[in-house]
Amino acid sequence: QVQLVESGGGSVQAGGSLRLSCAASGSIFSVENTNWYRQAPGLQRELVASMSSRAITYYTDSVEGRFTISRDNAKNTVYLQMNSLKPEDTAVYYCNQQIQISSLDFTVYDYWGQGIQVTVSS
C-alpha cells in the first residue's frame, strides 16, 4: 500500500508564502502524474497544479506565476511552493499521485493525501 502525508499548511497573511509537501511511502515502482487540488467551502474540488512523469507542468490560470510544483524523486516527495498568496487561495489542499506499485503490475493506482488547510487572511 501507498500512503501520502501532507504537511506545511497553515495561516498566512495576504502576500505571504507557504510550501506544501506531500511525502509518499510504501510500495512505489514509478510515479506517473502528481497533482495538487484544492477545495474551498461550498465549491467543487479544483485542480491547481500538476506534474507529469516527464516533469511537464500545468497550472490553473489563477495560480500561474505564483505557485510552483516540484518533485524530489529521491525523497518521494512533491512540493507546492505558494507565493503571493491571496485570500481566495484559502482552501483545503489535497495531494494526488498516480503510482505504479510494481514492475509486475502495470496498473496505475490513484492515491490521495488527507488534505491540509491553507488560510490566507487579508
Contact between 6 and 19 (Cβ < 8 Å) = no
Q: Which residues pair with 59 in a beta bridge?
A: 49
| pLDDT above 90 (res 1) | no
For the chain, how many helices (H) and strands (E)?
A: 0, 11
What's the pLDDT tens digit per position in 33-77?
999 999 999 999 999 999 999 999 999 999 999 999 999 989 999
- Percent of the chain whose predicted confidence (pLDDT) is above 90: 89
What's the pLDDT tens digit per position in 71-82?
998 999 999 999
What's the pLDDT tens digit per position in 19-31?
999 999 998 998 8
CA torsion, ordered 74, 33, 93, 37, to nearest 10 deg: 160
